[in-house]
Amino acid sequence: MLLKELRTQVLEANLELVKRGLVLYTFGNASGIDRDKGLVVIKPSGVDYDELIPEFMVVTDLHGKIIDGKLKPSSDLDTHTLLYREFPSIGAVVHTHSEFATSFAQAGLAIPPLGTTHADYFYGPVPCTPPLTDEAIGGRYVHETGLAIVNYFQQNKIDPLAIPACLVNGHAPFCWGKDAHHAAHNAVVLEAVAKMAYNTLTLRSECAGVSQSLLDRHYFRKHGAKATYGQ
């Protein structure tokens, strides 16, 4: 079986989204990439999570051409492949419609860094893209979704590893990481910090957010050459 290990990792990431309550029915998808081979493994479209096995994962190239697999790939494939092409440092992508992160996306709002939980994973606000134009929606919609993410990160000089997530305006979050496990982990944490942010803003709407010093302290204790967190 082509890319058996990666297929298994991508399957496990998809199942993690279900386990953590981030997806309903067949919503959501996870993918991973083999950079050496230039091949992507992604969840098939519309297949119940209870039925998924590694053989059902679909293998494509970086432009969405199916290389191996009998099922249709996720309908979000073009977003995933665009992110892989434009963010060469990432190894996996996860898309959910998790409740609180999606609420921020539907409101067209970034998730502000209001505390240390956010700062541990996201070095600044989790951005929300501008709304897609009518032309983008009526054209290559899924491709344009990825383009909205990439354009925002490039125009605002955001490192995709420092902020491993983005909200698509009116839609939902996309997250990524160095591999499928970390991408799913980031999606779970994103939903947690989105819920905390919603609750915090409900309690105190004028909340200014975490200080730059505290953001630096918590982010860099887990990330970078001088990280101290963990064994």
Query: Using one digit for the tens of pLDDT, what is the confidence trace for 124-155?
Result: 999 999 999 999 999 999 999 999 999 999 99
Q: Is the pLDDT of residue 230 over 70?
A: no
Name the residues annotated as catalytic.
Answer: 120, 229
The arithmetic mean of pLDDT across residues 30-42, rounded, is 98
pLDDT, one tens digit per residue, over 57-113 is 999 999 999 999 999 999 999 999 999 999 999 999 999 999 999 999 999 999 999
Phi/psi of residue 86, nearest 5 degrees: -95, -20
Q: Place 13 in a pLDDT band, splitting at 50, 70 and 90.
A: very high
DSSP H/E element including 127: none
Residue 198 has a pLDDT of 96
**Percent of the chain having pLDDT more than 90?**
86
Residue 170 has a pLDDT of 97
Domain extents in the chain = 4-222
Please count the other Cβ atoms lying within 10 Å of the Cβ belonging to residue 80: 30
Q: Domain 4-222: which topology?
A: L-fuculose-1-phosphate Aldolase (3.40.225)
Residue 228 has a pLDDT of 72
Please name the amino acid found at residue 85: R
DSSP H/E element including 33: strand 29-34
* pTM for the model: 0.93
